[in-house]
Amino acid sequence: MHDFADGSNRSTFQRSLDHLRAQIDEIDSDIIGLLGRRFETTRKIGRLKAEHEADPVDVDREVAVFAARRTLAAAHGVPPATIDAIYQLVVTQVVSEHHAVRQPRQKAAERTAPSDLIMSNPPTAEAC
């Protein structure tokens, strides 16, 4: 029984479709695993930056990364605008995590800063 104009039947079509979808599932698993490794590494960078009080954002690095990824995308037949959108999401998450790592350190430093230990307006005898 031929269900398609090219002479193939529905069961052949379904087997081919299932096979291709299984490939996509495997590729997606690889992509997610690689993103996990990437975020693990960027978290280490965030902690290192926080320890050394470095700025969580490196604009020069971001510009260079985006340019390199656009070139790489074009070489692999991926629309550069698609890569821009994906990397914007990734970089936004990374920067957010870098700020989050830095905030507890900043708050701890603020709580123990010498200026906090000196009262700018000590109580007067009348207030005691």
Residue 78, domain member (yes or no):
yes
Task: Give how far the C-alpha of residue 55 lies from the chain's centroid of Cα atoms, to the nearest Å.
Answer: 17
**Closest alpha carbon to 69 in 59, 53, 88, 83:** 83
Q: Which residue has the tokens 């690095």?
A: 61
Judged by DSSP in three states, 42 sits in helix
Helix residue ranges, H only, 2-79: 10-51, 59-75
Residue 125, domain member (yes or no):
no
Residue 92, domain member (yes or no):
yes
Structure confidence by residue, pLDDT tens digits, 46-89: 999 999 999 999 999 999 999 999 999 999 999 999 999 999 99
What distance in Å separates the CA atoms of residue 40 and residue 83, rounded to the nearest whole number?
A: 20
Average pLDDT, the chain: 85
Q: Which of 5-9, 77-81, 86-90, 122-126 has the lowest mean pLDDT?
A: 122-126
For the chain, how many structural domains are there in total?
1
**Per-residue confidence band for 36, with pLDDT thresholds at 50, 70 and 90:** very high
Q: Quick one: pLDDT at residue 109?
A: 57
Are 57 and 95 spatial neighbours (Cβ–Cβ below 8 Å)? yes
pTM over 0.85: no
Q: Quick one: pLDDT at residue 123?
A: 45
**Per-residue confidence band for 9, with pLDDT thresholds at 50, 70 and 90:** confident
What distance in Å separates the CA atoms of residue 62 and residue 121, rounded to the nearest whole number?
A: 45
pLDDT at 125 over 70: no
In sequence order, the 6+-apart residues with CB closer than 8 A to the CB of 69 are: 83, 84, 87
Residue 72, domain member (yes or no):
yes
Q: Which domain holds residue 79?
A: 55-99
Are 90 and 38 spatial neighbours (Cβ–Cβ below 8 Å)? yes
Are 55 and 49 spatial neighbours (Cβ–Cβ below 8 Å)? yes
Q: What tokens appear for 60 in the block? A: 């020069």
Residue 42, domain member (yes or no):
no
Q: Quick one: pLDDT at residue 122?
A: 46
Residue 73, domain member (yes or no):
yes
- Please tell me which of 1-5, 11-15, 123-127 the model is most confident about, judged by mean pLDDT: 11-15
Q: Quick one: pLDDT at residue 55?
A: 94
Q: What tokens appear for 93 in the block? A: 């998450």
